[in-house]
Amino acid sequence: MTEKLTQCPVCRGGNFSGYLEVKDHFLTGETFQIQYCQGCGFRFVNPRPGNTEIGRYYQSEDYISHGVEKRDLISRLYKQARTFSIRKKYSIVHKYATTGKILDIGCGTGEFLAYCRSKGFSITGVEPGEKARHFARTENRIPVSEQLSGLTVQPAYFDCITLWHVLEHIHDLDETIGRVKELLAADGTLVIALPNSNSWDKNRYREFWAAFDVPRHLYHFTAKTFGEFAARNGFELQKTIPQKLDAYYVSMLSEKYLHGKINYLKALIFGFWSNLQARRRDTGHSSLIFVLKMKKG
Ligand SMILES: [Zn+2]
């Protein structure tokens, strides 16, 4: 069933305006409306496929975050970048949570968790995608639940909870963030990475910007709207960190959507330019990592 939001998921306001009409360039070619909330500026797909209907938008062999073994150039580059980014992710987590229990929501095939385990963390994953979950369990030996609600641990169990490019896929934000608060230790760390829909590469590619990825990405946060979301849910922002590799990857895919073919040179140039502009202006990088702690009291 198609769902129509009547209340802003961030500020609860009810007045929306049209922001952009975007095609599902990746899979179906269907068109979706992105609206923005007049109260807080939050951007989201509306109307959107409901929870039971969204599955078919993920049914592609190419859906790279859930793909398992591919050999073409993009996938190989992606894999190399993934190794690099796993180490980068771990270095961020390690600054705030030096040891203990970590939960990765949307853990995919589990490489990040496997790396955390090799560093002494006790690991748990949640992954709704069946293929990826199976791979995580069998190949990477990760304990993975299908749903967050299926985890049977004590409250305040985890020292660190991570969502790497996952929150924008989740229908019920309130339920998810509520459960995260329950599961996170009082002084625990929450790490959320998201595409930034104010970035230079978004402004360059507009409706061809690959990180819109409608309707799989239901929400299109910016540093400002994410800050609002975090504060309203009782979290304090500790730090915002750029994910610089994403500018290259997003530019590469966006070039493909815009011109019908991949142009590695342009992807390199525009990815580099996006990162440079992010430093000069206040629009921010293509993707951002937010490090959060729960507010005391
Ligand atoms: Zn709002």
38 alpha carbon – ligand 1 mean position (Å): 7
Residue 268 has what pLDDT? Answer: 83
Q: What's the CA-to-centroid distance between 36 and ligand 1, angstroms?
A: 8
pLDDT of residue 8: 97
Q: Average pLDDT for residues 126-145, to the nearest whole number?
A: 94
Phi, psi of 90 (to 5 degrees): -65, -40
User: Per-residue pLDDT tens for 153-169?
Assistant: 999 999 999 999 999 99
Residue partners of 170: CB distance under 8 A and separation at least 6:
176, 218
- Alpha-carbon separation of residue 56 from 7, 68, 183 (angstroms): 26, 18, 30
**Dist. CA 123 → ligand 1 center (Å):** 35
Query: What is the whole-number distance in angstroms between the Cα of residue 14 and the centre of ligand 1?
Result: 8
Which run of H or of E encompasses 242?
Answer: strand 235-242
CA of 89 to the centre of ligand 1 (A): 30
What pLDDT, on the 0 to 100 scale, is given for residue 1?
81
Q: Return the pLDDT at 157.
A: 96
Number of domains within the chain: 1
* 180: nearest Cα among 145, 150, 148: 148
Q: Is the predicted pLDDT of residue 64 greater than 60, yes or no?
A: no
- Percent of the chain residues past pLDDT 70, beyond the cut: 95
Is residue 37 pLDDT above 70, yes or no?
yes
Residue 39 · residue 27 · CB < 8 Å: no
- Check residue 228 and give its pLDDT: 96
Q: Which domain holds residue 93?
A: 2-294
pLDDT digits (tens, 9 = 90+) for 223-256: 999 999 999 999 999 999 988 888 888 888 888 9
CA of 8 to the centre of ligand 1 (A): 5
**What is the CATH number for 189?**
3.40.50.150
Tell me the pLDDT tens digit for each residue of 281-295.
Answer: 667 888 899 999 999
| In the chain, % of residues over pLDDT 90 | 69
> Which pTM value belongs to this model?
0.91
CA of 229 to the centre of ligand 1 (A): 9
Mean pLDDT of the chain: 90
DSSP state for residue 208 in the 8-state scheme: G
Which range is least confidently modeled, 61-75, 78-92, 140-154, 257-271? 61-75
Where is pLDDT greater, at 192 or 258? 192
Q: What is the pLDDT of residue 177?
A: 97
- Sheet containing strand 16-23, strands side by side: 16-23, 31-37, 43-45, 219-220
Name the band, by pLDDT with cuts 50, 70 and 90, for residue 267: confident
User: Can you tell me the mean pLDDT for 253-273?
Assistant: 84
Residue pLDDT, tens place only, 189-233: 999 999 999 998 898 889 999 999 999 999 999 999 999 999 999
**Which has the closest alpha carbon to 290: 224, 247, 239?**
239
